[in-house]
Chain A
Amino acid sequence: DQQVKQNSPSLSVQEGRISILNCDYTNSMFDYFLWYKKYPAEGPTFLISISSIKDKNEDGRFTVFLNKSAKHLSLHIVPSQPGDSAVYFCAAMKSLNAGNMLTFGGGTRLMVKP
């Protein structure tokens, strides 16, 4: 059973507009959430994270929102740029677990059109 789900396999956005990527999780033990970005033939690279004690974290053009009651998080990219075109993975971890292994969603392919 998938504990982290990204229900949109792809998203297409015009350059300059907002991109919103969504993620849902089922395990209430998850308390730390991350977004990774992946280009073809490269490994995932860390983008932004949020602890469950917060509901928002912002870093430049990237903002992550967390709704614990709904077990939902989203990544907002404003303004979107063609270089943002990649696959975005949502990931979650249980901080009480030694090792902090990540549980990933299936990914959303973002295409930003010039």
Chain B
Amino acid sequence: GAGVSQTPSNKVTEKGKYVELRCDPISGHTALYWYRQSLGQGPEFLIYFQGTGAADDSGLPNDRFFAVRPEGSVSTLKIQRTERGDSAVYLCASSASQGVTDTQYFGPGTRLTVL
């Protein structure tokens, strides 16, 4: 079946602009996660959704970052007033539920470059 998809695969923007990154999870998966991977580092947790609600947004670096999942499926990560330090690969993952043994399946990521 279809895996997690993310669009766009690459996004280049200028400092100060607004960007939206989209994640389509595996159908039926209720849990959705956003992570950010900077160059040479491992992914870092940003936010977690269970259904439509953001159950934990403790990883969001500041209030320029916001994410929604209005219908409990597709999620959008929104970044306002982008800064060069926001450049990274943004990864989305989904799992069937929030159980410990529920594998998180990752999408290929969106590479964001802020000039």
Tell me, rounded to whole Å, the shortest Cβ–Cβ distance linking B94 to chain A. Answer: 11
Question: Chain B: how many interface residues by the 8 Å CB criterion?
Answer: 30
Number of residue pairs spanning A and B whose beta carbons lie under 8 angstroms apart: 68
Chain B's closest residue to A6 (CB) is B42
- Cross-chain contact B108 with A104 (CB below 8 angstroms): no
Residues in chain A near residue B48, CB distance under 8 A: 99, 101
CA separation between A114 and B91, bound complex, in Å? 32
Report the interface size class on chain A: 20 to 34
- Cross-chain contact B31 with A99 (CB below 8 angstroms): yes
Residues in chain B near residue A89, CB distance under 8 A: 42-43
CA separation between A98 and B48, bound complex, in Å? 10
Interface presence of B50 (CB below 8 A): yes
**Interface-located stretch among A42-50, A60-68, A69-77:** A42-50
- Cross-chain contact A46 with B98 (CB below 8 angstroms): no
- A42-B108, A43-B109, A98-B56 as given contacts; A104 in contact with B43, CB under 8 Å: yes
B-to-A contact residues, CB < 8 Å: 4, 31, 33, 35, 40-45, 48, 50, 55-56, 59, 91, 93, 95, 98-109
